[in-house]
Chains A and B, each alone.
Chain A
Amino acid sequence: NAGVMQNPRHLVRRRGQEARLRCSPMKGHSHVYWYRQLPEEGLKFMVYLQKENIIDESGMPKERFSAEFPKEGPSILRIQQVVRGDSAAYFCASSQGLAEITGELFFGEGSRLTVL
């Protein structure tokens, strides 16, 4: 399967726990994007990463949220001390290059976080 792989597909956490969401981009893609979809709302940009670099994190909440894309391994979106308002579907997308070169985004199936 050469698609964008996200895991876990479903994650349940209690308030105050940590959530880690993983994303492996499509083969050959070096650009990763994270989006959040709150219930009954549209997709909102969170962060754009290349290998070992955060390019744009303008959509990330200032506290508790962090993202990385290490040289080896998947991209990780980490949410510390989760609260009920973090319950959402988190989608990862990848692309081959910058928007002006190729730009087509390919999405994973998403990770659905439920905070009890």
Chain B
Amino acid sequence: KQEVTQIPAALSVPEGENLVLNCSFTDSAIYNLQWFRQDPGKGLTSLLLIQSSQREQTSGRLNASLDKSSGRSTLYIAASQPGDSATYLCAVSNAGKSTFGDGTTLTVKP
């Protein structure tokens, strides 16, 4: 059974800092890994999708890496801004079903 763990559960940083969010999964037989952002009371917004054959993806200030063999992914956020405050979720997908971590709640202080 796939299990996804995200560390830390919560993170508070001052504006402008670079930061790393971690995601680990127990079964390396995945098709892809996706990072999402969820604001309070809202749905999930897709940030980055990494296919199992890829090592990383970049979008603006975000960079996500995937090491499938070790069951790890990181989301790097450069030059954080207060608007980045949200819960960040990672999800690994296998045959149509995605398993989510419990998320990292990020607060960026002005």
Contact = CB atoms under 8 A, between A and B. Distances in A.
Interface of A: 4, 31, 33, 35, 41-45, 48, 55-56, 58-59, 91, 93, 98-100, 103-110
Where chain B touches its partner, the secondary structure class is: strand
Contact of B103 (A35, A42, A104, A105): A42
Interface in B32-88: 32, 34, 36, 42-46, 49, 51-52
B98 interface: yes
Contacts of B94: 99
A48 B96 contact: yes
Interface of B: 31-32, 34, 36, 42-46, 49, 51-52, 89, 91, 93-103
A91 B44 contact: yes
A100 B44 contact: no
Contacts of A100: 31-32, 52
A107 B45 CA distance: 7
A110 B43 contact: yes
Given A43-B89, A103-B49, A98 B95 contact: yes
Contacts of B51: 103
B46 A105 contact: yes
Given A99-B95, A103-B51, A104-B49, A42 B34 contact: no
A14 B54 CA distance: 48
A95 B32 CA distance: 13
Nearest to A109: B43
Contact of A42 (B31, B49, B93, B102): B102
B96 A98 contact: yes
